[in-house]
Structure 1
Amino acid sequence: MKHIQHQWRVTKYNPDNRDEHGHYTLVEDWTSPYEIGKIFDGNELTLDDYLRVETSYLDAAMAFMEESGIHSVRILGLEEHITEEDRASVLYENDFERFVLKGDSLIGLDDVRLVMKMVLRDFIWCQLYSDDRLFIHFGTDYYMYIGSHVDCPSAIEWAATHGLFVENKPSPYRISEEEIIWEIGWNALKDESKILVGEEGVTGIPLDECRRIFCLSAGHPVTGAFEIPFEEKDFFQRFLEHKMDFDLYEYRLRGGN
C-alpha cells in the first residue's frame, strides 16, 4: 500500500463538537448499533435512525471505491465472532448466512456492501484492501477510514451532502511494510485459552515464502496471525532461538505493530 497518497476519516461526527484535543466530548452521541433504543442528547436512537446512518456509510464507501476505479477488494485480518444471540438480533439478516467469509478472499461490489454491513453491526471485523490502490478500515466507536491512490472530490462531496464529515486523517489501522513487526508465539498444546507462554521477534523471513506456506495472495502484507504447520518446522526454526517442540506447543506467526 505504498502508493496510497490520500486518506480520510469519514464519520457522522461533526468536527465542531470536538474539544481542543480532538476528542468528541461536546455532544453526547451513539457509537454502536447495540445502543439502539437508548437516549442521546434528548433523543432516542431508533432502528430507522441507525439504518439511515449505516446506509450513508455504506453508500459513501461505495462512492470512494467507484471514484478510485475499484471493482473488487480483498478481506484482510478477518475475525468472526457471531453468536446465537447475534443471530436473533433484528440487525441480523438472512444474507449473512449465505455468504461464506474467508480471509484474503477477493470479493466484488455486491459482497463488499454486505461485508461492510456486518462489520458496522459488530458481527465480524476485517479490513478491505486493493493492493496499493485502496483500503477501507473500520475502527471502534463507528469510525471509518478510507485511503485511495487518487483524490476523490465527488465521493467527498456526496458524503458531505448525506450527513457525513470527511476529514484528511490517516488511518491508525494502516501499517506500512516498514512498520510491520513479526513475532512467533507459542502456547501449550492442550490449552484451549491459547494463552502464550513464549514469544520471540523474528526478522529476515522471506514474505513470499510465508505467503506460499499460509496460502495467501501475492499482495497480502502478511499481517494478522497464522498457525504454523508442523511440516514447516525446519523453515521457521531457522529464524528462532527457541527450539520448536510441536509435541508440547502450538505456534503462530503474527504480523502487526
Structure 2
Amino acid sequence: MPPAFVHQITKYDPADRDEQGRYIGAEDTISDHGPVEAAYLAAVAAFAQDAGIDRLEIRDPAVAGYVHFGAEPSVAGHGLDGLFPPDLTGYHDGAEVSLPVALELIRVMLRDQGAWCRLEAGDTFTVHVGWDQYLYVGSEQPCPHAVARTRELGLFPRPLAASPYAAEFDEAEVTEPADENFWMRVRTELASRRTLLLEESYVRNAARWHRITPKNLDAVRVGLGPRALLSVWPDLNPDVTAVLAALPQDESAEFVWEAHDGTFNHAIVDDTHFRQLTAQMTDARAARVLPLTEHRPLLCAVLPDSDACSAPDGDR
C-alpha cells in the first residue's frame, strides 16, 4: 500500500497555469543546478525529518539506455560517479543508503544525468522524481512542518492520492525467483547444450554476460548481483559472419559478441550498422542477435534475497 499522505512538489506556481491546467509561466523544465535544485533537496530533507527517516532503500534502479529521454544530456557514469564505484556495486534494488546519499541521488535525477530509482522506506516513506522537475514525497504522517518548510523554500506542495511513479502502477514484470528449482532447470539445459549464455541485468539498462558450463555454474552464481534479473540464452555462435548476415531488417536488436580477449560486449543495433559491425567483428570469437520485440530467453528469473550476496550500502 502507498503511504497515506502524498505531496507533489514543484517549482511551478499554480497561478501560472491556464484553464486546462497547463503551466504557462517562465520556469524551465530542467534543473537550474543552483538554488531551486537546492530547495527541492531541502524540502525532501524536511519531509524525512518530520517522518523520522534517515535511511532509504533504492528500488527499481536504472541507468541511461541506448536511447536517453532526459531533458539534459546523460553524463559518464550516469551521474553516479563519487556515489558508487564504476561497476555500480551497491546500486541495486534493495540497497540501503543514508539520507545524504539519497539526496545526492535525487540531485542526479533532477538533472536527468542518466540514473533513476525510487527511494523508499518500506510502505511508510517514498520519494519519486518524475519528468520536468515534478517530485513526489509520500509519508504515513501528514508532515505539516515539512509542507510549511517547502512553501518557505519557494516551492509548491500539492496533496495527491498517490504518486504516479508508485510501483503499483508499473506493468507486471518477471517475478519467478531464481531459486533451486530454477537452477535445476539451468543444469538440465546444460546437460544437453553443454554451454549457455547468462545475462545478468543488475540494474535496468545494464547487464553483465557470462558463459556458463556445468563446471563453472556454481562459481558464476556466487558472483551475481543482488536481485538481478537473470536470462538464460543459447550460447554464442562462432560463425560471426552468419550472425551478422542475419541482422533483422528495419528493426533494432541486441547484438552480443565475445571479443578476442574473451570479454563479452553488447550493443543495440540495426541493419544500418552492418558495415560498422563487420569492421568491429574482425577478431570476434562468437556472436548472437537477441531480438528486442520478442525477448524470449530459454529461462528467466529474479535472484531472490536469500541467494544474493551481501552488498555495501552505497555510503561513499
TM normalised by structure 1 equals: 0.60
Distance 1:88 1:138, change over 3 A: closer
Deviation at 1:12, TM superposition (A): 0.4
Provide the rounded CA distance (Å) in 1 between the counterparts of 2:298 and 2:129. Answer: 30
Distance 1:65 1:88, change over 3 A: closer
Distance 1:250 1:167, change over 3 A: farther
Q: Contact conserved, 2:231 with 2:297, CA < 8 A, in 1? A: no
Give CA-to-partner distance per residue, 1:150-207, whole Å, 9 cap, x none: 011101111101110000123111143xx6653459xxx89xxx9xxxxxxxxxxxxx
Q: Contact conserved, 2:30 with 2:132, CA < 8 A, in 1? A: yes
The percent of aligned pairs where both chains have the same amino acid is: 27
Structure 1: which 5+ runs fail to align?
Answer: 34-48, 195-212, 217-224, 231-247
Match of 2:57 in 1: 74
Provide the rounded CA distance (Å) in 2 between the counterparts of 1:152 and 1:115. Answer: 22
Deviation at 1:16, TM superposition (A): 1.2
Distance 1:54 1:85, change over 3 A: closer
Distance 1:132 1:228, change over 3 A: same
Match of 1:18 in 2: 17
Give CA-to-partner distance per residue, 1:119-155, whole Å, 9 cap, x none: 1111211110011110000000011001000011101
Provide the rounded CA distance (Å) in 1 between the counterparts of 2:40 and 2:109. Answer: 12
Match of 1:9 in 2: 8
Provide the rounded CA distance (Å) in 1 between the counterparts of 2:225 and 2:156. Answer: 39
Q: CA RMSD in A?
A: 3.7
Match of 1:104 among 94, 101, 104: 94
Distance 1:110 1:82, change over 3 A: farther
Q: Contact conserved, 1:9 with 1:168, CA < 8 A, in 2? A: yes
Match of 1:30 in 2: 28
Provide the rounded CA distance (Å) in 2 between the counterparts of 1:94 and 1:71. Answer: 22
Q: Does 1:126 align with 2:155?
A: no
TM normalised by structure 2 equals: 0.50
Match of 2:258 in 1: none
Deviation at 1:32, TM superposition (A): 1.5
Distance 1:250 1:143, change over 3 A: farther
Match of 1:148 in 2: 139
Match of 1:117 in 2: 107
Q: How many residue pairs get matched?
A: 185
Deviation at 1:17, TM superposition (A): 1.2
